[in-house]
Amino acid sequence: MNVLFFLLPKGSVAYIEEDYSLRQTLEKMQFHHYSAVPLLSKTGKYIATISEGDLLYYIKDHQLNFDDLEKINIKNIKPDRDIKSISINNDMDSLISLITLQNFVPVNDDLGNFIGIVRRSSIINYLVGKVKDK
């Protein structure tokens, strides 16, 4: 089985770019009802995954008010968890080992460009289907 079989393409994924403000990030996460989103460079490379917790702890630690959020660049926020990405050429074992630890796995093409994610739910649904087929 190929990683591409489970890929949710970049065009269908809510992500943020490194020039976003903390406020823009919060608003995008709220709009899409996501608790974490991939952070991409201006050239489309996966940098990290930013979570609600990362944002909330930053706001608390720096005692920010709502007006301050527009002034803070998202690159200044250090993610608490290191969400690993995989290459499109990785095997299913690599994907499975990561998906057990993460809600989604970012996927990069041969040139290292972010092309989408694989959701944990996609893998679980696939595996449940395989069990039902037996």
pLDDT by residue for the chain (134 residues), tens digit each?
788 999 999 999 999 999 999 999 999 999 999 999 999 999 999 999 999 999 999 999 999 998 999 999 999 999 999 999 999 999 888 898 899 999 999 999 999 999 999 999 999 888 887 666 66
Closest CA to 106 of 19, 51, 39: 39
**pTM to 2 decimal places:** 0.89
- Residue 77 main-chain phi, psi, to 5 deg: -100, 120
Structure tokens at 2: 């190929």
pLDDT at 126: 83
What architecture does CATH give domain 3-133? Roll (3.10)
Q: Which of 131, 79, 106, 113 has the alpha carbon at shortest distance from 6?
A: 106
H/E segment holding residue 61: helix 52-61
In the prediction, which pLDDT does 92 show?
86
Q: Where are the domains of the chain?
A: 3-133
